[in-house]
Amino acid sequence: MPTPPATAPQPPAPPIPLTELLAREDLGLRRIAGPADADLLWVHTSEMADPYPYLLGGELLLSAGVLLTDPDHYVARLVEAGAAALGFGVRPVYEAVPEALVEACDRYGLPLLEVPPETPFTTIARAVWRLMAEARHRELRRVTRAQQALATAAARPDPVPAVLHQLATQLSGRAVLLTARGEEVHAAGRRPHPEAAAALTRLARVVARERPGSPASATDTHGDTHLAAYALGGGEGLVLSLATHRREPGDHTVAGIAVVLLSLLAAPHQGADAADRSAALVRLLLGAMPAEVAPLLGPDGPWTVIHARRSDGTAPDALTAGALGASLGSALVDVGREDDDETVRVLLPATASEAPPHPGWTLGVSAPTPLAALAAADTQAARALAHAEATRTPLKVDAPVTGLAALIPPDQAAVHARTLLAPLTPPLADTLRCWLSLHGSWDRTAVALSVHRNTVRQRIGRCAELLDVDLNDMDVRTELWFALRRE
C-alpha cells in the first residue's frame, strides 16, 4: 500500500554503510556476527542493562558490557528498538566478546563488531560523523548541480518537458506529469515495467488534489522499482510521478526543487489565469485596494493565510519555503526577512481544513477569509503558530467565532472589546491573549512569545492592574477572552 513520507526523527546526514566504517583500518574494527549490510544513522554509547528507551533506531550502539547479564534479552531489545549494529569493546570488563552475545547477534540478525582495547569509543564516533559529513557534502554538491540543471531547463522555450527530462536524468529514472485521472501530460526517461507504470498511476491518484485531506506526497515500491508522487500547486490535480531503480541521498530534495518549478510552470495548464494574477499583483503594489483586485484572482476564494516555521529552528531558504508552498498547493510564498524572522507565509486559495500537518514544520493557519480581510487573517495565522509552538503541536487552525459568541453582532462586539481593552497597549493585549489561550501557563506563554516567564508574569500583573480585575476569576477570563477574540 502507498504510504506518506515517514515522520520519524531525521538524521543530520545520509546513512553510512557499515562497510565504510569497517574499511577504516585505523579503527581495527572486526565484524564477528550478524549480516555485513547495515546503514548507520547515529552513534550512541550506553552501559545500561536495557538502553531500549533511549534509542531512536539506526544506531551503532557502543558498549563494554558493564551490566550485560542476559545477552539474548539484550540483543532482542536492541533489535526491537531498531539498532543498526552493536560495537562491543573488549577489556577492561571482558577479555573477549562473550560467545553467548555472538550467538544472540547471529540469531537475531544484528551486526556485531569487536572493538579492540586501543580504540576509544569516541574515536569511532568521530569517524562516523566524519563519514557522515563527507556523505552530506557529496549530497549537497549533487543537489546543487541538479538545482542548476533544473533551473537552466526551466528557462528553455519548452520548460515543462525540459525540466522533466533533466529530472529523469538526475534521478536515473522515469519522470511523468499526470492528471488526476492518470492521463499523461508529459514524460521523460525510460518507461518502467507496465505493472510498475500502472502502480505509479494509482499512486498519483492518492495525492491528486480532488478531495480534502489528500497527502501532498506519497511513496511506494513495486518489485525493485521505487515510486513517488508529488501534488503540484495550483489546484487542478496535476501530479509529478517518479519511478527509479535506486534511492540516492538527496533524491527527495531534487524532486522538491522540480515540484516548485513545475508548480509555477504548469500553472496555466491548471486553470489559473496567469495574466490576471500578475495584473492583480501589480495593482496591489501600485496602491489599489484589495477589494478592487479580488475579481482578478478568480472565484477560488475564500483565502487562508498560513504561517510556518521549521520544527528544528533552522532558517528556511527560498527553495525550502517554495517546496512547502507547492506541497500546500500554492506558489504564493514569502520568507520573512525582517528582524531575523524565520517565518514562511503562504497564501492559499483553500479552506483551512485543506492544510495538513507537514513533517519538519510547525504551522499556524487562519480561518478562511475574503481577500479584503487578509490583514486580520495574517494576525490570526501568527497567533495560531505561536500557540502551536507553545503546545508543541504540528498544526493549529484559528477557528472562526462560533457558538454563543457568534450571536452578538460583530460591530457591537468590536465596540465593547475596544472599550474594555482600551487601557492595554498592544504588547500587553497580545500577552494576555496568548496567556488565556494557553490556560494561564507561564512557561508555554513564554515559549510562544519568546520572552522570559518573569516577563510574562509582570505583563499579566500589569494587565490586571490596568483593567482593575481579578484574573483568577473565570468570569473575568471569559469576558476578556471574548473581547480579545473580537477586537
474 falls within a domain? yes
286 falls within a domain? no
Residue 402 reports pLDDT greater than 70: no
- CB-CB contact of 335 with 318 (8 Å): yes
User: What are the beta bridge partners of residue 153?
Assistant: none
pLDDT value of position 296? 60
Provide the mean pLDDT of the chain. 78
Torsional class of 295: left (φ above 0), alpha (ψ -120 to 50), beta (otherwise)? alpha
Taking residues 100-104, report their average pLDDT: 95
151 falls within a domain? no
pLDDT value of position 83? 93
Q: Each residue of 120-143: pLDDT tens digit?
A: 999 999 999 888 888 888 888 888
Please check whether residues 415 and 482 belong to one and the same domain: yes
Please check whether residues 443 and 389 belong to one and the same domain: no
254, 270, 286 — which closes off a domain? 270
Please check whether residues 200 and 167 belong to one and the same domain: yes
147 falls within a domain? no
Please check whether residues 123 and 182 belong to one and the same domain: no
pLDDT value of position 270? 43
130, 164, 196 — which closes off a domain? 130
**CATH at 100:** 3.40.1390.20
The 3-state secondary structure of 218-270 reads EEEEECCEEEEEEECCCCCCCEEEEEECCCCCCHHHHHHHHHHHHHHHCHHHH
Please check whether residues 390 and 414 belong to one and the same domain: no
Residue 279 reports pLDDT greater than 70: no
**pTM > 0.75: yes or no:** no
Please check whether residues 38 and 124 belong to one and the same domain: yes
DSSP-derived secondary structure letter, 316: P
135 falls within a domain? no
CA 216 to chain centre: 11
User: Hey, what amino acid is at 338?
Assistant: E
Structural domains counted in the chain: 4
pLDDT value of position 77? 94
User: Hey, what amino acid is at 327?
Assistant: S
pLDDT value of position 33? 94
pLDDT value of position 485? 67
10 falls within a domain? no
Please check whether residues 205 and 248 belong to one and the same domain: yes
Taking residues 144-153, report their average pLDDT: 84
DSSP H helices, 61-185, are 71-81, 99-108, 121-154, 159-171
Grid coordinates of 171? 534521478
Q: Each residue of 238-262: pLDDT tens digit?
A: 888 898 887 777 788 888 888 888 8
Residue 11 reports pLDDT greater than 60: no
Please check whether residues 348 and 432 belong to one and the same domain: no
pLDDT value of position 150? 85
Please check whether residues 373 and 435 belong to one and the same domain: no
Taking residues 225-246, report their average pLDDT: 79
Residue 300 reports pLDDT greater than 70: no
**CATH at 445:** 1.10.10.2840
Q: Which residues contact 47 (CB under 8 A, 6 or more apart)?
A: 63, 64, 65, 66, 67
294 falls within a domain? no
Q: Which residues contact 147 (CB under 8 A, 6 or more apart)?
A: 254, 257, 319
Cα–Cα distance measured from residue 377 to residue 304, given in angstroms and rounded to the nearest whole number? 7
388 falls within a domain? yes
Q: Each residue of 329-364: pLDDT tens digit?
A: 776 777 765 555 678 888 876 544 456 677 778 888
Please check whether residues 36 and 103 belong to one and the same domain: yes
Helices 453-467 and 426-437, packing angle to 10 deg: 110
Domain range enclosing 461: 404-486
Residue 269 reports pLDDT greater than 80: no
Please check whether residues 126 and 163 belong to one and the same domain: no
- Per mean pLDDT, which range of 49-53, 366-370, 371-375, 432-436 is the poorest? 371-375
Residue 4 reports pLDDT greater than 50: no
Please check whether residues 309 and 348 belong to one and the same domain: yes
**CATH at 189:** 3.30.450.30
Grid coordinates of 177? 506529469
pLDDT value of position 404? 55
- Comparing C-alpha atoms, which of 231, 270, 275, 254 is closest to residue 153? 254
Q: Each residue of 168-193: pLDDT tens digit?
A: 988 888 998 887 777 788 888 888 88
pLDDT value of position 385? 83
Residue 486 reports pLDDT greater than 70: no
